[in-house]
Amino acid sequence: MPEYDATSRVGDLADGFPADVVPVPPGAEVLASSAAPGDGVVQITLNLRTPDEVDEVTDYYAAALDEAGFTVSPSKEASALTALTTFLGPQEDDAAAQSVAVGVFDDGDERLVTISGQVASD
């Protein structure tokens, strides 16, 4: 059997995952996640499957991250994803930068969501 990193989890949120900042939308299925603590931040990844439309997923995370003090970062990066949005978090003096990227791929029947970045640790 392969060994998995202790900071990751398949089918659920990893221990220490900041669900108060990056929540799971109602009706979405968690495929995998990770939460690796670092120097004042938690490095995160989250992979979901959802029946929600691309705009619904994007709006959900825009609202959730806005509530946590993040703002949308304009991006012109080309992507194979249906939607890709980057959010920048509030910056504290001498603290590591916070950022979260939310990518959504529409396969026609469902949407696959991949989220990665770093947020301030509690």
pLDDT of residue 79: 72
pLDDT at position 80 over 90: no
Q: What is the mean pLDDT of the chain?
A: 89
pLDDT of residue 72: 92
Please report, for the chain, the start and end positions of each structural domain, with discontinuous segments joined by +.
8-120
Residue in the block written with tokens 């080309």? 78
pLDDT of residue 3: 57
Strand-pair category, 71-73 with 83-88: antiparallel
Mind listing the pLDDT tens digit for each residue in 84-99?
Answer: 899 999 887 777 889 9
